[in-house]
């Protein structure tokens, strides 16, 4: 007896597979045009809030966009500081110089950066004192 030819959904195997190509899965980060992970940020937001508080989907996208902007800003300033010091790598010192050199980031970041050192500063009166002695 010849084998039966199967047509329809069972022909390709699996349950209810159609011949149409499958829709490509796109992440929420790529939909928003971001590099930061929107799904992970959403999970962290839900974890940090109380159980009765709901976290909307747009909140995660907005938070990820703000974080991405801040990181890009700090990395750009730190890269400029590294280039000024003729270094190819960004070190904690470069991050410290970048953050403390920018007024808005200095207000935002109150933390101590390990290995960042201090900002070079000599008080004006200490510099003027030496000049007054020479004039006499």
Burial class of residue 42 in the structure, from the number of CB atoms within 10 Å of its CB (0-12 exposed, 13-18 middle, 19+ buried): buried
Ramachandran category for residue 14: left, alpha or beta (phi over 0 → left; psi -120 to 50 → alpha): left
Query: Which one has a higher pLDDT value, 8 or 55?
Result: 55
Within 8 A by CB and 6+ apart from 116, the residues are: 92, 93, 95, 96
Q: Give the count of beta carbons closer than 10 Å to the beta carbon of residue 40.
A: 13
Q: Model confidence at 116, in pLDDT bands (50, 70, 90)?
A: confident
Cα 33-39-41 angle, rounded to 5 deg: 95
Per-residue pLDDT at 10: 56
| 38-53 pLDDT tens trace | 999 999 999 998 888 8
- Please answer whether residues 60 and 36 qualify as being in contact, where contact means their C-beta atoms are separated by less than 8 angstroms: no
Per-residue pLDDT at 131: 59
Does the pTM surpass 0.75? The reply is: no
- How far apart are alpha carbons 134 and 136 in whole angstroms? 6
Q: What is the mean pLDDT of residues 76-90?
A: 94
Q: What is the mean pLDDT of residues 122-132?
A: 73
| 56-80 pLDDT tens trace | 999 999 999 999 999 999 999 999 9
User: What b/e string do you get for 52-72 counting C-beta neighbours within 10 Å, with b at 16 or more?
Assistant: eeebeeeebbebbbeebeeee
Q: Model confidence at 36, in pLDDT bands (50, 70, 90)?
A: very high
């Amino acid at each position: 007896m010849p084998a039966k030819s199967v047509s329809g959904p069972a022909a390709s195997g699996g349950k209810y597979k159609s011949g149409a190509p499958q829709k490509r899965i796109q992440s929420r980060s790529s939909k928003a045009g971001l590099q930061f992970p929107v799904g992970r940020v959403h999970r962290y937001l839900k974890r940090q809030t109380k159980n009765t508080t709901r976290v909307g989907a747009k909140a995660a996208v907005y938070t990820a966009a703000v974080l991405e902007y801040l990181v890009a800003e700090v990395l750009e300033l730190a890269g400029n500081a590294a280039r000024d010091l003729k270094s190819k790598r960004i070190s904690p010192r470069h991050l410290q110089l970048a953050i403390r050199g920018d007024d808005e980031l200095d207000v935002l970041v109150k933390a101590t950066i390990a290995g960042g050192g201090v900002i070079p500063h000599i008080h004006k009166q200490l510099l003027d004192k030496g000049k007054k002695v020479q004039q006499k």
